[in-house]
């Protein structure tokens, strides 16, 4: 890790202040030269601890950078992860306040809810399948506390993998009911198609993303637990959020999920 504890605390506070005030900050890689991935995750962890101490509850994790195109853009060859907190979740149909969001964009994903812990050393895809209770259609609202989304890997990792909010559908399906690799996704904004893709866009299969996360979380000493929510990563391109608009993702075999914005 390249940063000392004081610099990690300073970077974490810059991100918290940006979220609280809406005044976006310069890229952390410029403010803290030499910032590496380990230090970026330490910044993310510190801000998670602040949120939990303030009363938030950890409910799961999200996987980011599952698109080869986005990985190439940021110069990386693997995904990243962030945490999901209870106050980031919104029910379908409840208007999401734009004031809670940071330069928001939205993407359609598959949500998984675990029925078993995934705390084995080096879990396999079979372990992942056995651990998943059910899946749901999901919308993740990503955001950046970095001005103009001028991010590289360390910036987004420190910034909780650029996560802001999430909405999931309410009609769970078992894995055997859905072909998650081939399932087609269409996302509309007030009825107009704005994004499309398939499950294969997410690391070849959404379960591949969950496997990567399960192995990573065991390695960092925070294994996924029964009851937790996992967001797979995008099935198609993310699009900017516009105030007052309604976004609906239809995922073949999973149904639909809708997010409404104030």
DSSP state of 98: G
pLDDT at position 128:
98
pLDDT at position 73:
64
pLDDT at position 78:
80
Strand 239-240 and strand 163-168: the pairing is unpaired
pLDDT at position 77:
72
Is residue 134 predicted with pLDDT exceeding 80?
yes
By the 10 Å C-beta count (0-12 exposed, 13-18 middle, 19+ buried), 107 is classed as: buried
Range 168-174 average pLDDT = 95
pLDDT at position 67:
78
103 dihedral zone (left: phi>0; alpha: psi -120 to 50; beta): left
Q: Measure the CA dihedral 157/158/164/167, to 10°.
A: 40
Strand 105-114 and strand 80-85: the pairing is unpaired
Rounded Cα–Cα distance for residues 103 and 140 (Å): 13
Is residue 240 predicted with pLDDT exceeding 70?
yes
Q: Give long-range contacts, CB 8 A cutoff, 24+ apart: 16-23.
A: 16/47, 16/50, 18/102, 18/145, 19/102, 19/145, 22/99, 22/102
Average predicted confidence (pLDDT) for the chain: 95
Q: Report how far apart, in Å, the C-alpha atoms of 64 and of each of 3, 187, 245 are.
A: 23, 19, 24
Rounded Cα–Cα distance for residues 251 and 198 (Å): 8
Helix axes 5-21, 37-53, angle to 10 degrees: 60
pLDDT at position 68:
77
How would residue 1 be classed by pLDDT, with cut points 50, 70 and 90? low
Q: What angle do CA 157, 159, 162 make, to 5 degrees?
A: 85
pLDDT at position 42:
97
Range 23-55 burial, b when 16+ CB lie within 10 A, else e? ebbebbbeebeebbbebbbbbbbbbbeebeeee
Rounded Cα–Cα distance for residues 134 and 144 (Å): 30
What CATH homologous superfamily does 57-260 map to? Answer: Fumarylacetoacetase-like, C-terminal domain (3.90.850.10)
Task: Dump pLDDT digits (tens) for 37-94.
Answer: 999 999 999 999 999 999 999 999 999 988 776 777 667 778 999 999 999 999 998 9
Rounded Cα–Cα distance for residues 240 and 261 (Å): 12
pLDDT at position 112:
98
67 contacts 201 by C-beta, under 8 angstroms: yes
pLDDT at position 197:
94
What is the pTM (predicted TM-score) of this model? 0.94
């Amino acid at each position: 890790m390249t940063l000392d504890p004081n610099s990690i605390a300073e970077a974490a506070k810059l991100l918290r202040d940006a979220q609280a005030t809406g005044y976006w900050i310069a890229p952390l890689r410029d403010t803290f030269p030499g910032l590496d991935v380990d230090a970026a995750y330490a910044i993310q962890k510190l801000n998670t601890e602040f949120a939990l101490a303030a009363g938030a509850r950890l409910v799961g994790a999200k996987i980011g950078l599952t698109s080869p195109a986005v990985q190439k853009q940021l110069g990386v060859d693997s995904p990243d992860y962030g945490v999901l907190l209870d106050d980031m979740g919104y029910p379908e149909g409840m208007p999401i306040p734009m004031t809670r969001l940071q330069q928001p964009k939205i993407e359609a994903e598959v949500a998984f809810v675990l029925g078993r812990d995934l705390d084995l050393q080096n879990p396999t895809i079979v372990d992942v399948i056995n651990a998943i209770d059910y899946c749901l259609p999901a919308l993740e609202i990503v955001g950046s506390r970095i001005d103009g989304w001028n991010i590289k890997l360390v910036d987004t990792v420190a910034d909780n993998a650029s996560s802001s909010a999430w909405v999931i559908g309410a009609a769970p399906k078992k894995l055997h009911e859905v072909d998650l690799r081939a399932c087609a996704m269409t996302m509309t904004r007030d009825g107009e198609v704005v994004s499309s893709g398939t499950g294969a866009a997410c690391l070849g299969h959404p379960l591949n993303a969950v496997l990567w996360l399960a192995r990573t979380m065991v390695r960092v000493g925070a294994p996924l637990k029964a009851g937790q929510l996992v967001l797979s990563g995008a099935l198609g391109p993310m699009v900017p959020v516009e105030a007052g608009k309604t976004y609906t993702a239809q995922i073949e075999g999973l149904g639909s999920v809708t997010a409404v914005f104030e």
